[in-house]
Amino acid sequence: MRPLIRTKKSDKQAVESTALQYEETFLVDPPSQFEDGYDEYLNSVKTAAVLHDWIEEVTEERIEEKYGVTPGQLQAKRSLADWLLYTCDELCDILKRRDLASTIRRVKKRVNLGVADELLGLTRFDNIGRVRARRLHDHGIKTVADIKSTTYEELNDVLGKKTAASLKKQVGEDIDPDDVDEDNHGNLLDFA
């Protein structure tokens, strides 16, 4: 993940607090604040916190503001995390560790899409990214069965006509294209 996101004096206390909160989950014992490597340790915690917020659906703008990172830094860390997770997945295949592979693949998808675990099933549909998936989930539409049992009109209220029609078609329901006009309630495709 190098270069790590630097911990600034202004956010050192917040990063140390985060480190204490998650200390029991770390694979190695953290160094003492008086040891060499302490700053590097804090930088690794901050980098991990940025990625954690991303997969918990914190907006890019909020992450940039909270951690003082640029959009390019965030994208670079997401790309590196994706590559490292891909590598871990390949190693699982080589080492015959199927038990770990599925977890790694789920995290990889979450890093790519910036979504909580509960939204992964919804993001598999065309034109459903993190924003629309969250909107569906917040309206109680969480599974394929929920999509099927939700009326087109209800989906239209949540997503707009074209996306609602597309989603219904993707679950096997044929919506008459004449019932769908170009008005999409101002909703743009959200692939982020």
Structural domains present in the chain: 9-114 (1.10.3380.30), 119-179 (1.10.150.20)
Q: How far is CA 184 from the centre of its chain?
A: 25
* Rg, the chain, Cα only: 20
Mean pLDDT of the chain: 91
pLDDT, position 113: 96
Cis peptide preceding 177, ω within 30 of 0:
no
* Structure-token match 């699982």, residue found: 92
More confident call, 192 vs 155: 155
Query: What is the arithmetic mean of pLDDT over 17-35?
Result: 93
Distance CA 89, CA 98 (A): 9
pLDDT, position 174: 82
Predicted model pTM: 0.84
| Confidence category of residue 14, pLDDT binned at 50, 70, 90 | very high
Tell me the pLDDT tens digit for each residue of 91-121.
Answer: 999 999 999 999 999 999 999 999 999 999 9
